[in-house]
Chain A
Amino acid sequence: MNLFLQEWRSLCRSTLTWSLSLAATALLLLALYPSFAQDAADFRSMLDSYPAAVQKAFGITMDTMATLNGYYSFVLMYVSLAGAIQAMNLGLGQLSKETREKTADFLLSKPVSRTRIVTAKVGAALASLLVTNAVYQAAALILAGLVADRVDYGTYLLLSFTLPLIQLLFFALGLLLSVILPKIRSVLPLSLGLVFGFYFVGMIASIVGDRAARYLTPFRYYDRPYIVAHSAYESEFVVLELALLVLFTAGTYVLYRRKDIHAV
């Protein structure tokens, strides 16, 4: 428990920053919804002037854009990108920071097993994601009621919950990478590179419309137009996510237990 609390304490500040930033993004973009909905016709003509490929890349279809859930899908594009960066930072950082900050000798010479170390660090990171989502989801729900008259809360929540689903996958991937890579000197550049990489793969997948390409990037596991249309996730991707989460987490435990923790 001491280990968890120490980890949580060190994540507190960034958790607060991320929570408020994500909520602020939602606030800014959702605040524009009422005027957007009013002038939907103008936007439609503007959007139509873009090439079809661009429209696809951003996952915007004008038919749904004028509804709250359609508009929120567009908001979530940015929110989930930012959220993925937060999760990737946590994943890459949690285990590697002891080596980076040269505190590994302190921690690993204490009477704790590597398994317990991973559990405490993962626990603290999950707590951070939980708090971030609690703040974000609450803000998103309240804002929905403020900017729209009638809200389909069921679908709205399904859309909202793609954020933690995407975050979990990026977090687990980051964790696994952090134990595979010999040494991570700086988390942020690597994290940004990976997340944007997956993001662009997602955009290309949208343009090409190739279903197989969707498996390559967590950003496309939860197709928002599909959720708006069906009020459901595509079950095969939910199963895929669960399988990957189990695989990445188990891999992290196994590899971290065997890993040589070098000095320097």
Chain B
Amino acid sequence: MKVMELNGLTKTYGTARGIEDVTFSVEEGETFGFIGPNGAGKSTTIRTLLALIYPTRGSASIFGKDCIRESARIKRDIGYLPSEVFYYDNMRVKDLLVYSASFYRKDCTKRMKELAERMELDLGRKIDDLSFGNKKKVGIVQGLLHEPKLVILDEPTSGLDPLMQQRFFELLEEERQKGTTIFYSSHILSEVQRLCDRVAILKAGKLVRLEKISALKENANKRVRLESAVSVAPDYFAMAGVSHEERQGGEIRFLFRGDLQALTGKIAAMSLTSLYIEEPDLEEIFLHYYEKDAPKAVQS
């Protein structure tokens, strides 16, 4: 079942760029990454899905219901963490969470305590006095409190220290195991790589690529770095699949894509002092989408 379906979703603000003709869908139980540089339109897309702003053209549905017409109904099962969290200042953390829970038809007291404990959030503090990272924690607890079927996260980790990021990822993993669909928007590629099954890449308001994380990695180059005790002939690695070869002292670096047997055969014949064959990260795979004059990619 499709939890989320965007169909030619377009939002323009006068002359300013919004999003243009964004089409993709998210399956139930999937963790879906939504990445792009700042200003690519990630938040615009999310805010349109939540009917905070209205689309200029196109449509979107969540749980099979129209995002605009049945917005209030849909939101019963959505947990949302906005990128910038600001809450009613005169409230304590607990007041805010109770207020948040009061919009849903369930008792969230137990889960509130549990989540606050996991995120080391002091329920008695005034929200006004909290640091940015702690406000973010309030946002996380608020978003997961009512056990939504769909969690929408917009840059959720900014401001969190590494330990808390780790806790947060654990929480998301538990949600995923419960069958919750997670829509994870970020410009930090490693997070998306770690968490998500599929990813959509947005650039300048347009969807430039939609792919499984695993497929992306398969099609990608491996990064090879080795050091040899003896000098290596300059054309030793002149073979199919090798590119971007660089040499520096005794170290040889290149990218490889193709038959690994051929490569390991070559390497086995050398007398090596060190060898690294690394998976590329998303950063490298997508870097060219981020560059301004990147070739226009086809939508898969």
Contacts and interface: CB of A to CB of B under 8 A. Distances in A.
Contact of A10 (B52, B78, B86, B88): B88
Interface stretch (A167-175, A212-220, A255-263): A255-263
Contact of A109 (B53, B78, B84): B78
A109 B80 contact: yes
A111 B50 contact: no
A108 interface: yes
Interface in B71-96: 71-76, 78, 80, 82, 84-90
Given A111-B73, A111-B75, A102 B50 contact: no
B286 interface: no
Instruction: Label chain A's interface by main secondary structure.
Output: loop
B103 interface: yes
A258 B74 CA distance: 18
A260 to B, nearest CB: 4
A109 B100 CA distance: 10
Interface string B55-81: 000000000000000011111101010
Interface residues of B, number: 29
Given A104-B52, A109-B78, A262-B53, A2 B99 contact: yes
A103 interface: yes
B132 interface: no
A103 to B, nearest CB: 6
Contacts of B51: 108
B158 to A, nearest CB: 15
Contacts of B80: 105, 109
Interface string B98-109: 011011100000
A101 B54 CA distance: 21
Contacts of A103: 86-88
A62 to B, nearest CB: 50
B103 A111 contact: yes
Cβ-closest 7 pairs across A and B? A102-B86, A2-B102, A111-B75, A105-B82, A260-B53, A109-B80, A110-B103
29 contacts: A2-B99, A2-B103, A6-B99, A101-B89, A102-B84, A103-B86, A103-B87, A103-B88, A104-B52, A105-B47, A105-B52, A105-B84, A106-B86, A106-B100, A106-B142, A108-B50, A110-B103, A111-B72, A111-B75, A111-B76, A111-B104, A112-B75, A113-B71, A116-B72, A258-B54, A261-B52, A263-B47, A263-B82, A263-B84
Interface of B: 43, 47, 50-54, 71-76, 78, 80, 82, 84-90, 99-100, 102-104, 142
Interface of A: 2, 6, 10, 101-106, 108-113, 116, 258, 260-263
Given A2-B99, A111-B104, A258-B54, 18 more contacts: A2-B102, A2-B103, A6-B99, A10-B90, A103-B88, A108-B50, A109-B52, A109-B75, A109-B82, A110-B75, A110-B103, A111-B72, A112-B72, A113-B72, A260-B54, A261-B53, A263-B43, A263-B84
